Structure 1
């Protein structure tokens, strides 16, 4: 019934539940997941111009990492344009059967914009739309607490982690850490769910 599920994301904490719902649907129907992030163009899109593109790539790579962990095929795309127009065009061009997206994004102005994007997609899309409200409560807001959990898990798995190999970040309510280790050429990568506190090793390159 559903072969291609589109999950638009901006990497904000509010997308955690829509990503989880989208992956659950894809798993039930053995569907492919499309992760799409849109870098807005125009006067409003220039407010975060320096951070928007790398944030968008982190956002879609997070979805891909979650999909890989669940054994789901995923493809990612970052595009520029008017968000609701890009989402609808992508859905048409890639034969998307369903779109799963959140009703809220970042705080402040972006939160209003994302809500508007969802509303327009719902009104204009021809395929089914699943909208998911962001109700998860973030438990790990402190970077040091999240890092401590990641280091503890690394120790449990036998890694002698050293300094951070990259700047930590939080994408879709998940903290990502990369640690240098004297025992391996590649860094040890771990993710910490900011809602549940669950920690796991990331085998693929971290988003």
Structure 2
């Protein structure tokens, strides 16, 4: 079966209970507007933590909110010491097409560019990641879809694997793709 790159059938939305992490939900909802799409809300509890019950109630509420707006949604909770590892395992186990992830979560502003978990997921994921800059309150999904999509490339074949997904998303939204490759001063790209 050929996988369609213009459709996000299964979207993993990792949450940690913070408002910053929730910034990705509006984008996951916008990407999951097809009747066959599904958003899987996901969180990680450390072994021995008494947070599973509160997180279950929290994720049930968030799933219900998505369902009320017509989105198929469910949730999953994993136990582990490394949230990044658990997110990557969940993405593989659930066979998701996309991970919708906020740049910062519960730890907030400790790292100005991205949180530790986000950095780990971006560096190691084999699944495309839709990164939402959670520190900018002005950034919200635009009605009508994604009109400009920035794809970051580093010259590797691995980075280019995202291009069919980006092209499909742009086509589905009648949008424009902007390709960006940063070359350090004095650096000459290898072709």
Q: TM-score range by the shorter chain?
A: 0.5 to 0.7
Is residue 2:39 matched to residue 1:23? no
Secondary structure of 1:7's match? strand
Cross-structure match for 2:15: 9
Question: Structure 1 regions of 5+ residues with no counterpart?
Answer: 138-207
Q: Deviations over 1:9-42 (max 9, x none)?
A: 011111232011111101157411101110134x
Given that 2:45 and 2:78 are in contact with CA atoms closer than 8 Å, whether structure 1 keeps it comes out as yes
Is residue 2:91 matched to residue 1:91? yes
Given that 1:11 and 1:58 are in contact with CA atoms closer than 8 Å, whether structure 2 keeps it comes out as no
- Aligned-residue Cα RMSD (Å) equals 2.4
Aligned counterparts, 1:1-207, within 5 A: 1-28=7-34, 30-41=36-47, 49-50=49-50, 52-81=51-80, 82-107=82-107, 115-134=115-134, 135-136=136-137
- Report the number of matched residues: 128
Distance in 1 separating the partners of 2:39 and 2:17: 16
| Greater helix fraction, Structure 1 or Structure 2 | 1
Given that 1:10 and 1:55 are in contact with CA atoms closer than 8 Å, whether structure 2 keeps it comes out as no
Q: More deviation in 87-96 or 57-66?
A: 57-66
Q: Deviations over 1:77-118 (max 9, x none)?
A: 111012111111111111100000111112469x66x81111
Given that 1:6 and 1:36 are in contact with CA atoms closer than 8 Å, whether structure 2 keeps it comes out as yes
Distance in 1 separating the partners of 2:101 and 2:54: 17
Q: Deviations over 1:45-77 (max 9, x none)?
A: x7xx34x32342233223302211111111211
